[in-house]
Amino acid sequence: MRISIPREIKNNEYRVAITPAGVHDLVANGHEVHVERGAGEGSSIPDSAYADAGAIIEPDAATTWSTAELVLKVKEPIEQEFAYFRDDLTLFAYLHLAAEPGLTRALIDAGVTAIAYETVQRADRSLPLLAPMSEVAGRLSAIVGANTLLKPNGGSGLLVPGVPGTYPAKVTVLGGGVAGTNATSVAVGLGADVTVLDTNVARLRELDALYAGRIKTIASTAFEIERAVLDADLVIGSVLVPGAKAPKLVRNELVARMRPGSVLVDIAVDQGGCFEDSHPTTHDDPTFRVHDTVFYCVANMPGAVPHTSTHALTNATLPYLRAIANNGWRTAVATDHSLALGLNVVGGKVTNAGVADANGVELTPLDAVLG
């Protein structure tokens, strides 16, 4: 199979979809790998490393896309890439289509087969291709939140761990999944007073045991969210409904009552955000004010640490990529139910319920597509 890796062009997106080790694996399995010139530079991977691993270096995006049977990306294509879509193309990337109506329509109209990393789901409900980037985003959220709390960045001027004789910052984490757990880990490490809310009490028991009473765990309800948010200096939103828009847990009227200079970091902004006032921002301009608070809503947070993120992503995607390349997407999804759940769009039809609902289009059952 001809597999192409274009250079990412989203604002400040420095990741690349594969490492030279991944290229070597695919070439060893008999596939052609085409990498756009400069695709790995943001992750400190030179073209020569890809060439040494067996890749063919392409001069530009148009050639890279047109050569491919399968395009492997990190982030969803942006509008200037829609012209490369065609009906014999398979796309494997983070897509977040519930929050991307324009991209969804472009994929439908072009007949692209689109498999989304974020909806590949195992029987235990874990998300193996989202997990590594959730780990990165979760850990980053506490770091960027602590930085945004600094007075020159618009925050209240609070040092998260405090110093002897002063109070540490109060950090509220909404969601105890992969991202929330990693946010909690770093916030605790920074010395914050941490509260985690989740609807899954069993998960809260696990976190309580892990931290041996060093954090507070609260069963999530609207009442408890309000209490925890109003008491917080930093709120980290990390809720996820696979494939669907994130629920809005923090309303504008609640934000209006928060302490001046409080910071809200929305990890879920890729899926529409879990704060009412969230909208995607970029690393160039990451924050905006709502009432007297500061929102941080960068939609590609792991792109800021590409050296880590690129290798972590390839570790997760390579087994699935190998299956698609070796067997074709249809056989691969027919034989692996977790990968089948990653199929979002095929032949002009939407096969993911969350994506269909968010975009107001008809859902085509997966069985109907696979025959």
What residues are annotated to the active site?
96, 270
Strands 234-237, 170-174: parallel, antiparallel or unpaired by DSSP?
parallel
Distance CA 12, CA 299 (A): 10
Distance CA 370, CA 357 (A): 21
CA distances from 90 to 30, 281, 340, 346 (A): 18, 28, 14, 9
Backbone φ/ψ region at 38: left (φ over 0), alpha (ψ -120 to 50), beta: left
> Residue 95 pairs with which residues in a beta bridge?
none
Q: Which residue has the tokens 């695919």?
A: 26
* DSSP label at residue 6: P
Cβ contacts of residue 80 below 8 Å, gap of 6+?
A: 9
Nearest to 262, CA basis, from 238, 231, 297, 286: 231
